[in-house]
A and B are shown apart, each in its own frame.
Chain A
């Protein structure tokens, strides 16, 4: 842990066999889900934009281990696994990716816009950095209501240079809002490396007067410890916190980016070999005799089968009806009249 204006938490993390097991299964599921999404995109079942998270799974799983569903999370468009971490189902993910009405946003959001209201997952945002002030707002409501909870607002190294992030940090610090600004630093904003975009790539210090820390985002247990520490800071009334998680994405920025024009294949495979977050937990399970290799393989096979079934479910689901086009524009759908050709304001329904 690297600290800024704060003391480091202990590097000793308490966990259990069941927690580690669950972490592994969740991360493996996330990994397979993103791989399946890649295949679906290439076979044109998913259209539009698709930003994959494989490599970064430890963040979603680690942070959930330190949070409850009364804490709020808001993130950017690389949100499939964040949704799963919040308790969403893989069926809803695939259905949403395929634009079907059984998706978590009724098929109207797609890859970049996944939401889960009952577990306080606020999405799923397309415009880079726009979610930062929203996170401050969510945290304000929590404080206003006296809740012992915090908000995690996630953004990337690219978004760290958006003006609105500085605005949100100032507001949060001024009003002691319980918000953790989590920078998922995967070192590349699309094709631009952090040192080409940022005068200071020490994102955990960018809150200046806001204390912060940096942790290894490829280690789910380090993430858990860091998030627990940050949450405690916020909920005890000390105001916001900046948490930079050092992570890596194996895929390019999106499915239209091969991810190899701005970084070497050796760099990618190096991370895969030395820092893969899923393998790390797998090794822990084996080393501590929590599971045997045969058991792990059986779980993995089972998860892959579940993924296949979920994909089939999505493929078999219906598209949203035509009328869904003009639902949810305003609260009262009946009032929306979409004029097509004439000016007589005929409601389309």
Chain B
């Protein structure tokens, strides 16, 4: 918690402003273009501000040659970004929806992730950052709702990040862009306008690879990321009020490499674990976390670790309300764990 709160404190000493997630991301990109002359932002429709307005005003301010549109070609966008980053540039690619990232999958997994390794360190694409809006939005259906973090978390050589709100997004994005490893930043689109908080106006970073204990508790550990952290927090409030159960809620923030130490320490403290994510349960990132905790904290655990996730189906259209792992399902899991 130390490094995270020190950074937060430093940020608090700067001026802050009430900003939503879009504004926070825009600010991080603005600072980057200001300070890093090699930085370029490219993707579909980013020049006019992007379909979610994350790049609004940046082209006008920093130059159309630095914030430019690509044609509709995700594989091309990613590959182009790899090349630009291999030259040492800061290449910030936007994939319009995380659901569209799959044509780019080969470039990210086979090129970006392996460049440093296969060249023995001669080349790297540390300057590559790929941003994509992810997650359920209420009506997105199959192709505007997916959370593809597990596919990328399975790839050594990549860094994968997902912020839970505006302040986290700005600090994590600045760290991601400056990181010397290719980083994928998944932004929960449902929070773009609805999440508003005080965000430092200046330049600040939140360290990668460090989880954040959002709520301290002693009875059970709830681990999540992105928008799901708020579902867990709401479930924690209810659990305290209705069940007298004191939950610790952890936001992983960086999904690869994930902060094992923080999660282990929490599991050692509480003896109970629930991991929750929107993505389908089978082979989701929750499986990795549960396996690790079972290995490291087996004798300390009071009950089997549980996962509350999306079902093993494509992300549905009208059935979304049944599919998403909401507060009620999390509370059921809390009860099951406590009553074991």
Contact = CB atoms under 8 A, between A and B. Distances in A.
A325 B329 contact: no
A284 interface: no
B265 interface: no
A329 B312 contact: yes
A331 interface: no
A108 B318 contact: yes
B71 A163 contact: no
Contact of B332 (A110, A159, A325, A341): A341
A336 B280 CA distance: 13
Contact of B336 (A162, A325, A329, A342): A342
Q: Which of A162, A197, A261, A341 has the most B CB atoms < 10 Å from its CB?
A: A341
Nearest to A44: B139
Contact of B316 (A108, A128, A343): A108
Nearest to A105: B317
Contact of B72 (A108, A162, A319, A343): A162
Interface string A279-293: 000000000000000
Contacts of A322: 319, 322
A319 B103 CA distance: 33
Interface string B291-323: 000000000000010111001111011110011
A99 B322 contact: no
Interface in A298-349: 319-320, 322, 324-326, 329, 336, 338-343
Interface residues of A, number: 42
Given A322-B319, A341-B306, A341-B332, A48 B139 contact: yes
A155 to B, nearest CB: 10
A252 interface: no
Contact of A343 (B45, B69, B103, B304): B304
A112 interface: yes
Contacts of B72: 128-129, 158-159, 161-162, 189, 192, 197
A110 B142 CA distance: 10
B317 A109 contact: yes
Interface in A156-205: 158-159, 161-164, 189-192, 196-198
Contacts of A126: 99, 141-143
B140 interface: yes
B281 interface: yes
Q: Which of A112, A164, A197, A325 has the most B CB atoms < 10 Å from its CB?
A: A325
The interface size bin for chain B is 35 or more
B231 interface: no
Contact of A190 (B45, B75, B332): B45
Given A127-B143, A191-B45, A324 B100 contact: no
B281 A107 contact: no
A336 B141 contact: no
B281 A161 contact: no
A247 to B, nearest CB: 18
Q: Closest 3 A-B residue pairs measured CB to CB?
A: A99-B318, A161-B71, A126-B143
Given A48-B139, A49-B141, 16 more contacts: A48-B141, A99-B318, A127-B99, A128-B100, A161-B73, A163-B76, A190-B45, A191-B45, A191-B48, A192-B72, A197-B69, A319-B318, A320-B319, A325-B316, A326-B313, A329-B313
18 contacts: A48-B141, A49-B139, A99-B318, A109-B317, A127-B102, A127-B103, A129-B72, A158-B71, A158-B72, A192-B69, A325-B319, A329-B313, A336-B312, A338-B312, A338-B313, A340-B332, A341-B308, A343-B306
